[in-house]
Amino acid sequence: MNKIAFSVIASGSLALLIGVADTEASSTYTIKSGDSLWKIASQHNVTVADLKHWNNLTSDAIHPNQVIKVAAATVAPVPVSTPSPAATVQPAGNTVGTYTVKSGDTLSKIASIHKTTVSKLQELNKISGHLIYAGQKIKVTAAAVNPAPVTAAPQAPSTAPAPVSTPAPAAGTGRTHKVVSGDTLTAIAYRNGISVTQLMNWNGLTSSMIRIGQVLKIENTATAPSVTTPVSNPVPPAAAPAAADTAGKITEIAKSLIGTPYVWGGSTAGGFDCSGFIFHVYNQAGIKIPRTSTTGYDARSYDVNSPAIGDLVFFENTYRAGISHVGIYIGNNQFIHAGGDQVQVTNLNNSYWSKHFSGFKRLYAMN
């Protein structure tokens, strides 16, 4: 009898230890090269302040192979109990469809995290542009009620009006986009996962000129007429020299301001902060953009893997969490920016800036 009791106790203890070990493993993270506290916090849906508190950190400095906690110690035992997952299943049905925007977020980044597209997020949240703000709650999946109307819809076409509904899409009644201030064909195409050539073909355009209020098809519903206008193919090559000329202007104007003092909130030749410098240089080069913050320019641009001269370089977690500094890429692994005490040129391999590097982006206004 004693042997049986001992065996039961031993088995129970072993199961408990395995459960604890799994919990501890899932609540820690081993730092890799290029990681930052902000990036790790985003991946684990926690805040930088939480990570510092749980790991007794007094600064943002971390190093590769360092093991840090990514969950509060008191939360660890919860997964061991059976009732806990059941308790989280029901709330998830109500809350899984929303996301609270954090500083530094963009629609593109949120879409990537939730395996969806920017156009879907815009459609779900009735957003016509890319502007979002920290603390904003946005839908990232359709409500559970959505499937119900889908099953009801086929019942109507099964009756007499069925033949009437089929010609409608052929007449070009698919998804559309109404042009707003600041829109370009490239920006609209990028947001909807299509090409500029497709947009031009589907809308019978022979140039990239569009006007505010114009309604564009962003889905191919009438193939026969649109295929007849591949005349627009020469347009992209023609745009390349113009882009190069603009980039040259941006670089020339930016370099002429080297040595201008750093002034918080400044956006004139008398002094700049980092975002004020971007505003002044681009507008002087003929690219009309609003005066906004670093986060604002991040939201008005899209990621590029191979930067070109004139693209923006973003940095994170400098004086605050998230996107917090911006400069202009000028080639040869260098960027020009209002940083330190003046406008200056810095190499991206610089020990400070390399560890805060976030990525290269291109303003929609450049297209």
Per the CB < 8 A criterion, the answer to whether 38 and 48 are in contact is yes
Residue 177 DSSP SS3 = strand
Report the C-alpha gap between 278 and 142 in whole angstroms. Answer: 37
Report the C-alpha gap between 188 and 198 in whole angstroms. Answer: 11
Q: Look up tokens 């006007």; give the residue.
A: 211
Report the C-alpha gap between 180 and 162 in whole angstroms. Answer: 36
Per the CB < 8 A criterion, the answer to whether 356 and 339 are in contact is no
Per the CB < 8 A criterion, the answer to whether 336 and 343 are in contact is yes
The type of residue at 55 is N
CB atoms < 10 A from the CB of 277, how many?
25
Residue 359 DSSP SS3 = strand
- Nearest residue to 76 (alpha-carbon basis) of 18, 15, 23: 23
* Structure tokens given for 334: 């260098």
Torsion of CA 261, 60, 62, 44, to 10 degrees: -120
- Nearest residue to 103 (alpha-carbon basis) of 272, 298, 292, 278: 298
Enzyme catalytic residues = 274, 325, 337
Task: Please report which helix (H) or strand (E) contains residue 117, including its range.
Answer: none
Rg (CA), the chain: 26
Largest distance between two CA atoms of the chain: 90
End-to-end CA distance of the chain: 81
